[in-house]
Amino acid sequence: MASSPLQFSTPFRTLLLSSPSLRKSPRLPFHPSLFSPPLTQKTLTFSTGTRAVSGSGKFCWRAKASMAGTTMEKGKGKVEVFDSEENLSVSLAKYTADLAAKFSKEKGSFTVVLSGGSLIKSLRKLVEPPYVDAIDWSTWHVFWVDERVVPKDHDDSNYKLAFDGKGVKCNLTPTTFTVQGAVALCFSLWQVPILPGNVYAINDALSAEGAADDYETCLKHLVKSNVLSVSTATGFPKFDLMLLGMGPDGHVASLFPGHPLVKENEKWVTFIKDSPKPPPERITFTFPVINSSAHIALVICGAGKAGPVHSALGNSQNSDPLPVQMVSPEGELVWFLDKDAASKL
């Protein structure tokens, strides 16, 4: 199997993605496992053709064959509910690919921000036909909304997760990606020909504070070189698409309920040393950066997250809003929910 080296540039470090394997850097060892062993009216639309319409504060159900969601009340965005995570991933791939084509045509680049967790699994349809061959991957610039301050080969690393999918229960075999037209069961960055230098990882040799400052410097460099645009409304960087997950406590990125960082409104990237979820040291985009995005997709699956989804989209009134309730982009917000996550709506 061919290999390629890690490459670093000042003031930020990037990864060469021209081959499906990574060689150890003399300075930064990295040994990703490439395969997991073994291989006010509200309208919600379900991919199986079930539609929910609110009436007198409660939902009634009637059949409708549709995959599309409809716009909810102002400020909460569009909500799409799917009967299965499989159908959700199909729709998410089309949504992402359509935006990639739009921005690539308009400005020659597509800036996309990833998070960790189960989101990576839900992106797997992007590396299947027709998208894997139709997308112009050379225009993609990939960032992370947050990252754990651990080595890149550590199982807690969001960077590592995006490369090998380890930890998201993807059932892979080596033939999955070598057979023409085979079905990929997990998204992995090494599967797509993103140009060298277009993946922006943290400098894990630095402290949490240093890594946050370094990543913000990286973003400012990209603004000056016109890779990133700036919101005329806020002055913060404006990403084309942010793909966010949500924790069972309603946190997004590494912005946790009740933590002072949810109120940070000056920095682009900040750090946390007392994360309530391990590992404790992380860096994260702040809400002004998150909410300056042109498009945000909130991708949420599982009954364990139904409570925060209800808090955000239901009729409950919280004096202290959850972080997920603070996601409010300049542009479009779309919620991608499976039926379990939407079960309390």
DSSP one-letter code for 46: -
Judged against a pLDDT cut of 70, whether residue 62 lies above it is answered with: no
**What is residue 164's predicted lDDT score, i.e. its pLDDT?**
79
Cβ-proximal residues to 232 (8 Å cutoff; 6+ apart), any chain: none
Judged against a pLDDT cut of 80, whether residue 243 lies above it is answered with: yes
192 or 183: which carries more pLDDT confidence?
Answer: 192
The mean pLDDT of 216-227, rounded to a whole number, is 97
Q: Count H helices, E strands: the chain?
A: 8, 18
**Calpha distance 344→311 (Å, rounded):** 9
**Calpha distance 283→49 (Å, rounded):** 41
Tell me what the pLDDT averaged over the chain comes to. Answer: 78
The mean pLDDT of 258-269, rounded to a whole number, is 97
Q: Which of 34-38, 127-131, 145-149, 152-156 holds the top average pLDDT?
A: 145-149
**What is residue 57's predicted lDDT score, i.e. its pLDDT?**
32
What is the pLDDT confidence band of residue 41, given thresholds at 50, 70 and 90? very low
Judged against a pLDDT cut of 90, whether residue 55 lies above it is answered with: no
**Calpha distance 204→202 (Å, rounded):** 6
Whether the Cβ atoms of residue 261 and residue 255 lie closer than 8 Å to each other? yes
Mean pLDDT lowest for which of 140-154, 246-260, 280-294, 316-330?
A: 316-330
**What is residue 186's predicted lDDT score, i.e. its pLDDT?**
63
- 167 exposed, middle or buried (CB, 10 Å; 0-12, 13-18, 19+)? middle
**What is residue 320's predicted lDDT score, i.e. its pLDDT?**
87
Whether the Cβ atoms of residue 298 and residue 312 lie closer than 8 Å to each other? no
Whether the Cβ atoms of residue 263 and residue 249 lie closer than 8 Å to each other? no
Whether the Cβ atoms of residue 291 and residue 330 lie closer than 8 Å to each other? yes
**Calpha distance 204→28 (Å, rounded):** 9
**What is residue 165's predicted lDDT score, i.e. its pLDDT?**
59
**Calpha distance 206→214 (Å, rounded):** 9
Judged against a pLDDT cut of 70, whether residue 52 lies above it is answered with: no
What is the pLDDT confidence band of residue 244, given thresholds at 50, 70 and 90? very high
Judged against a pLDDT cut of 60, whether residue 181 lies above it is answered with: no
Half-sphere exposure at residue 40, Cβ-oriented, CA atoms within 13 angstroms: 7
The mean pLDDT of 45-50, rounded to a whole number, is 38
Q: Which of 48-52, 314-318, 334-338 holds the top average pLDDT?
A: 334-338
What is the pLDDT confidence band of residue 319, given thresholds at 50, 70 and 90? confident
**Calpha distance 283→213 (Å, rounded):** 9
Judged against a pLDDT cut of 90, whether residue 43 lies above it is answered with: no
Q: What percent of the chain has pLDDT over 70?
A: 72
Collapsing DSSP to helix, strand or coil, 89 comes out as helix
**Calpha distance 143→158 (Å, rounded):** 11
| DSSP annotation string for 147-190 | EESS-TTSTT-HHHHHHH-TTS-----THHHHSTTPPPSS--GG
Mean pLDDT lowest for which of 17-21, 85-89, 235-239?
A: 17-21
Mean pLDDT lowest for which of 31-35, 159-163, 259-263?
A: 31-35
What is the pLDDT confidence band of residue 76, given thresholds at 50, 70 and 90? confident
Q: CA 91 from chain center: how many Å? A: 15
Q: What percent of the chain has pLDDT over 90?
A: 65
